[in-house]
Structure 1
Amino acid sequence: MTELAEQPQQTDALPLGPQSLVWKYFGDNRMYLIGPRPAVLQNMLAELGQGVLDHSVFFSDTAARVKRSLPPIFMTVYGTDGDNRGQQVRDFHRDIKGEMPDGARYHALDPETYFWAHATFVEQVLYFADTFVKRLSDAEKEQIYLESKTWYRRYGVSDRAMPATYAEFEQYWDRMMNEIVVAHKTAQYGVGYVTKGFPRPKAVSPLAWKLIAPVFNPVAAFITTGGMPPRARALLNLPWSDRKERNYQRFAAFWRTRPVNWVWDHLPMSVRYNKFAQTGYARS
């Protein structure tokens, strides 16, 4: 009976594993080139941004929040169907609930809210691969999306908000970006360094940061702002120009060139992938 109950969820998705495109791209260390795109977009959903504002250490220690949040998500992707951290990630969110400024209630495990967080990671994979690795075919985009459905179901959360196909996911994404997301203060804080400068990391001395910051801050601002969708860029009032857009597109096109990809593909796994992806590939 259990197998029969699970069957409908399996036949409309594709498996994760060493042959999957999600595995190929999600743990790729070139992912840093897109900047904080998924984190900022997550917080532009008002309910999710409010949850972070009310319950997270994001404002007091941003690095700690990232360090705590990302490893279990990577271990959900690069684990197996029977051994992954998906339900643990879900359980982290059980007590994240509260009240919106207008009095409405929110809960992190609301299917629409939880799926939006996942959707930003799916779109992260699609955007990164298509922008900095190679132009994806329609079939590859569909494959990534169908693999992401397996990924989402590992969390053990209702999938009622999950679109059935990549085409439907595109429609969902456009609606969210054009009609739903807002410039929540949590998202604004997440990109504040674009105009104010990046805060000094605790591990870096004031003197060293004084020397590093004049170079680091413009690069971080360029990658962050360039890596945001135009609609999000406008809502968050991020400074951009046609000239910067042309430079960003040249920057991305450089990474997509055949010689650059050839060199990258011949580097050691320890350089190309994070430790969670390395563990998954080694196990397989």
Structure 2
Amino acid sequence: MTELAKPESATDALPLGPQSLVWKYFGDNRMYLIGPRPAVLQNMLAELGQGVLDHSVFFADTAARVKRSIPPIMMTVYGSDDDNPGTRVRDFHTNIKGEIAHPDGTVSRYHALDPDTYFWAHATFVEQVLYFADTFVKRLTEAEKEQIYAESKTWYRRYGVSDRPMPQDYAAFQKYWDDMLDRVVVAHPTAKYGVGYVTKGFPRPKGVSPLAWRLIAPVFNPVAAFLTTGGMPPSTRPMLGLPWSDRQERRYQRFAALWRSRPVNWIWDRLPMRLRYNTFAQVGYARS
């Protein structure tokens, strides 16, 4: 059921490094503006959502799961071709398997290392880079989108998982993405849990006192709901029960346009590296 592959460079891909667009955007701290888009979309693939439901601490301690997952994924990007944790990330998923019951009453088996399942997880990160940059930094040209996708192929191959499901170029990736949203993704309970705070309010984080949270929550919750719902593809909002109006959409587009504006980008580009990029990106750039 699984197909593993040795990481290797290929002529159809572009390298990662300080000149790459994936490096430029993936570790940018403005990425928080898109909300939990990639994580929620990952869990809308039934097999992946079920794997998280069956095997992860996501429900018991969401923060712990994020803290454990993000660093090795980041360093798969910001590492080098011969020094990155890609295959270790792959091996974390070796025992994530089980059965999934479908609405029609049938039961099938799933495995996290099934290439179609694993590639969908990766695809949400690739689309994250594309969506973030095009929405909150600058309108990407077709050539830039093609470059990001070609670089993402090098990224995926670092995991050592079969690239059989990987589309050949950006146009094919866009078709794959649209087909997944139109025909495959579902409102899996794991995905619905991930956006539940939009209507219920965000739970008090550990380390924040009840009094402080009562003061912060009235401001934090509406902002989190706005970024979360606005950051999801329109077709997924009704599936997940996320309320969104035309007025909110106009506000979101104005908010995004402000971030893309020349003055905001001018200021951002002149901030210290430690403010603009997360720790993993800083390590990568410093090493290079």
* Same fold per superposition (TM over 0.5): yes
Unaligned runs of 5+ in 1: none
1:136 aligns with 2:140: yes
Alignment CA distance shift 1:108-1:7 (3 Å): closer
Counterpart of 1:276 in structure 2 is 280
Match of 1:52 in 2: 52
Q: Which amino acid aligns with 1:139?
A: A
Is 2:129 aligned against 1:120?
A: no
**Residue 262 of structure 2 corresponds to which residue in structure 1?**
258
Q: Which residue of 1 aligns with 2:149?
A: 145
Provide the rounded CA distance (Å) in 2 between the counterparts of 1:239 and 1:277: 35
Secondary structure at the residue paired with 2:235?
helix
**Code of the aligned partner of 1:10:** A
Corresponding residue for 1:247? 251
Structure 2: distance between partners of 1:140 and 1:164: 16
SS of match in other structure, 1:11: coil
Shift of 1:89: 0.4
Q: Per-residue displacement from partner, 1:35-80 (whole Å, max 9, x unpaired)? A: 0000000000000000000000000100000010000000000000
**Deviation, structure 1 residue 10:** 1.3
CA deviations on 1:161-188 (whole Å, 9 max, x unpaired) are 0000000000000000000000000000
- TM-score, normalised with respect to structure 2: 0.96
Matches within 5 A, 1:204-219: 204-219=208-223
The gaps in structure 2 that reach 5 residues or longer are: none
| Structure 2 CA distance for aligned equivalents of residues 94 and 211 of structure 1 | 44
**How far off is 1:103 after superposition?**
2.0
What is the identity, as a one-letter code, of the residue corresponding to 1:14? L
* Contact kept in structure 1, 2:7 and 2:157, CA below 8 Å: no
TM-score, L = length of structure 1: 0.97
**2:203 matched residue in structure 1:** 199
For 1:83 and 1:142, locate their aligned partners in 2 and report how far apart those are by CA, in whole Å.
26
Q: How does 1:105-116 map to 2 (within 5 A)?
A: 105-116=109-120
Larger helix percent: 1
2:37 corresponds in structure 1 to 37
Amino acid at match of 2:51: G
**Alpha-carbon distance in structure 1 between the residues aligned to 2:53 and 2:216:** 30
- Which residue matches 1:234? 238
The percentage of aligned residue pairs carrying the same residue is 80
1:24 aligns with 2:24: yes
Task: Name which of 157, 161, 171 aligns with 1:167.
Answer: 171
Structure 2 match to 1:187? 191
Matches of 1:195 and 1:21, distance apart in 2? 35
Deviations 1:228-265 (A, max 9, x none): 00011121110000000000000000000000000000
How many residue pairs are counted as aligned between the two chains? 280
Q: How does 1:64-83 map to 2 (within 5 A)?
A: 64-83=64-83
Cα distance between partner residues in 2 of 1:175 and 1:53: 25
- 2: CA distance, partners of 1:212 / 1:197: 12
